[in-house]
C-alpha cells in the first residue's frame, strides 16, 4: 500500500479517544492529584541524580555516566505519556490527534527500547568492573563509554521505528476509542479496518526480541558477576560488590517483570484492566523507584546527593539575601 492510499483510508479517523480509567469525576480528580505527585517526585529524583553525576568529579566514571544517562532517559520516558494522561484526567473529550498518537507510540516504545539497551550496558560495565578489575580501566575508557552511551540512544530510537511506520500507514476507519491511557500498539492494532498479520508479527517480534535478548544478556552478566563476587577474599569487598550489583538487579527485575507480561506473553489472555496496570507500573512506578534504588544503597551517590542538596540550600540563601537587599 502506498502513502497516498493509506492517507485516504486514514482520513475517516483523524483522532483517537483514550478511555484511560473510566470512573466518576471525583475519582478522576483524585487520580490526577496522585499521578501529578508521582510525576513530580520522578522528575525530582532523577533530576537529582543527573545533577549529582554532573557536579561531582568523583562520579565521572563509566558506571555513573551510564547511571546519569539512565536517569535522563527516565525523565523523558515519563514525559512521553504522563503529561497527556494528566490532561485527560481533567478533559471531557480525552482526544489525541492521529499524528500525536503515533508520535506518543514511537517515543514511548523508543524510550522503552533504550532502557533495555542501557540496562544491558550497565550490566556489561559491572561485569568488567568486578570480573576483570585489572583490565577495567583499559577496557572502559572514556571514549568507549561515550560510544556505548551513543549506541544505546541510537539503537533504542531506531529499534521500533519500522513497526510504527507500518502501523501508521494502515487504514483506520473506526471505531476510534482506545481502551488504554496511552497509545499502545496492541489496542491500536485492534482498530484496523483490515487484517495486518505482517505488521502485527513485526511489532510483536521486535518487542519480544529486545526484551528477551537484553534480559538474557543481563542475567548471564550478573551470573558471572555473582560467581566472581563469591570468590573475592575480603568480606567487605563482597558486601560492596553485592550492594552495587544488587541495586542494578533490582531495577532490572522491576522493569522486565512487567514488560514481559505485556509484550512477551500472548495478548489475547489479558483483561482490559491488566495492560493498564502493567503499563502504569513500568511507565510510572519504576522511574519513580529507580532513583531510590540507586541512591539508598550507594554511599558515593548518597554523598553526591547531599552535596547537591547543600548547593541548592546555598543558592536559595543567596537568592533570598539578594531579594531582601533589593526590596530594602
Please write the tens of the pLDDT for every residue from 235-257.
766 776 676 677 777 778 888 98
Burial group, residue 314, by CB count within 10 angstroms (0-12, 13-18, 19+): exposed
pLDDT band at 305 (very low <50, low <70, confident <90, very high): confident
Asked if the peptide bond before residue 175 counts as cis, ω within 30 degrees of 0, the response is: yes
Q: Is residue 316 very low, low, confident or very high in pLDDT (cuts 50, 70, 90)?
A: low
Residues 192-206: what's their mean pLDDT? 87
Residues 6+ apart with CB under 8 A from 282: 112, 254, 255, 258, 259, 262
For position 157, what pLDDT does the model report? 96
Q: Is the pLDDT of residue 82 over 90?
A: yes
Q: What is the pLDDT of residue 149?
A: 96
Percent of residues, the chain, with pLDDT higher than 70: 86
Percent of the chain with pLDDT over 90: 34
Q: What is the pLDDT of residue 197?
A: 85
For residues 207-215, average pLDDT: 92
Residue found under cell 496492541: 186
Whole-model pTM: value is: 0.85
Q: How far apart are CA 115 and CA 118, in angstroms?
A: 5
Amino acid at each position: 500500500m502506498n502513502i497516498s492510499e493509506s492517507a485516504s483510508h486514514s482520513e475517516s479517523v483523524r483522532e483517537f479517544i483514550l478511555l484511560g480509567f473510566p470512573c466518576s469525576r471525583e475519582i478522576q480528580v483524585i487520580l490526577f492529584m496522585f499521578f501529578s505527585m508521582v510525576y513530580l517526585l520522578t522528575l525530582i529524583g532523577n533530576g537529582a541524580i543527573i545533577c549529582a553525576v554532573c557536579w561531582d568529579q568523583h562520579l565521572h566514571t563509566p558506571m555513573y555516566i551510564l547511571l546519569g544517562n539512565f536517569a535522563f532517559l527516565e525523565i523523558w520516558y515519563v514525559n512521553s505519556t504522563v503529561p497527556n494522561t494528566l490532561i485527560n484526567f481533567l478533559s471531557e473529550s480525552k482526544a489525541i490527534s492521529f499524528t500525536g498518537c503515533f508520535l506518543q507510540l514511537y517515543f514511548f516504545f523508543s524510550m522503552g527500547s533504550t532502557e533495555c539497551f542501557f540496562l544491558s550496558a550497565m550490566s556489561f560495565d559491572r561485569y568488567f568492573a568486578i570480573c576483570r578489575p585489572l583490565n577495567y580501566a583499559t577496557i572502559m575508557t572514556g571514549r568507549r563509554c561515550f560510544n556505548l552511551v551513543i549506541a544505546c540512544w541510537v539503537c533504542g530510537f531506531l529499534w521500533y521505528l519500522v513497526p510504527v511506520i507500518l502501523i501508521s500507514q494502515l487504514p483506520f476507519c473506526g471505531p476510534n476509542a482506545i481502551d488504554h491511557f496511552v497509545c499502545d500498539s496492541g489496542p491500536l492494532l485492534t482498530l484496523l479496518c483490515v487484517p495486518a498479520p505482517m505488521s502485527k508479527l513485526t511489532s510483536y517480534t521486535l518487542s519480544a526480541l529486545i526484551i528477551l535478548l537484553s534480559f538474557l544478556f543481563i542475567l548471564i552478566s550478573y551470573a558471572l558477576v555473582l560467581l566472581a563476587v563469591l570468590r573475592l577474599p575480603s568480606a567487605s569487598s563482597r558486601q560492596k560488590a553485592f550492594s552495587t550489583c544488587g541495586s542494578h538487579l533490582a531495577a532490572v527485575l522491576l522493569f522486565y517483570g512487567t514488560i514481559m507480561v505485556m509484550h512477551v506473553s500472548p495478548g489475547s489472555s489479558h483483561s482490559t484492566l491488566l495492560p493498564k496496570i502493567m503499563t502504569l507500573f513500568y511507565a510510572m512506578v519504576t522511574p519513580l523507584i529507580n532513583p531510590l534504588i540507586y541512591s539508598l544503597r550507594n554511599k558515593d551517590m548518597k554523598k553526591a546527593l547531599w552535596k547537591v542538596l547543600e548547593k541548592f540550600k546555598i543558592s536559595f540563601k543567596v537568592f533570598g539575601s539578594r531579594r531582601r537587599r533589593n526590596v530594602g
